[in-house]
Amino acid sequence: MITKGISLRDLAVFISDHCRRSGIEVVLSGGACVSIYTHNKYLSYDLNFVLLSHTTRATIRTAMEPLGFYEDGRYFRHPETPYIVEFLSPPLSVGEEPVREIREIRRAGKVLRLLSPTDCAKDRLAAFYYWDDRQSLGQAVLVCRDTEIDLREVERWSAKEGMKDKFSQFKKALLEKKHPR
């Protein structure tokens, strides 16, 4: 049940599990993963679920309405929570590569599937690499400081994306005492 004050994590678990039970396979990505992995050092108010297969908007709407969500443009909103929900088209990827590892969080018999910490960092770095989004760079740094990531994998991926110079900026930011502004 969705109530005022529900945490982002609990809402994500609830929606993810409900979608799965409705035949819609999703994986959480974006800033919500950063919030979860950093224990809310970064606060996100949107939940971006990537669809694992093509699903019609009508199917998603039919699944979300019984939970009390209503469609508002490309988002779904609920009157009891400030969080917005978006469903993104497949494939599940970071940059040009498919995601290799999906993590699961289990709570009260429900399952949330989300990007691994390493892929979460790569997802945030993609926004920094391609759109020069400094906030996303800071989010990647937070994830790396609060969880265990495979830095060699991030470096390999960065080189494959043609972003060795920006990876160097990321490594420098990772070594700083505060996250970049």
pLDDT digits (tens, 9 = 90+) for 135-166: 999 999 999 999 999 999 999 999 999 999 99
pLDDT range class, residue 178, cuts 50, 70, 90: low
Give the Cα separation of 150 and 168 in Å (integer): 16
Give the Cα separation of 24 and 145 in Å (integer): 33
pLDDT range class, residue 177, cuts 50, 70, 90: low
Q: How far is the first Cα of the chain from the last one, in angstroms, to the nearest whole number?
A: 37
Residue 115 near residue 45, CB atoms below 8 Å: no
Give the Cα separation of 51 and 19 in Å (integer): 10
Residue 38 near residue 142, CB atoms below 8 Å: yes
Give the Cα separation of 19 and 42 in Å (integer): 26
What pLDDT score does 173 carry?
96
pLDDT digits (tens, 9 = 90+) for 46-66: 999 999 999 999 999 999 999
Average the pLDDT over 105-112 and give the result. Answer: 95
Mean pLDDT of the chain: 95
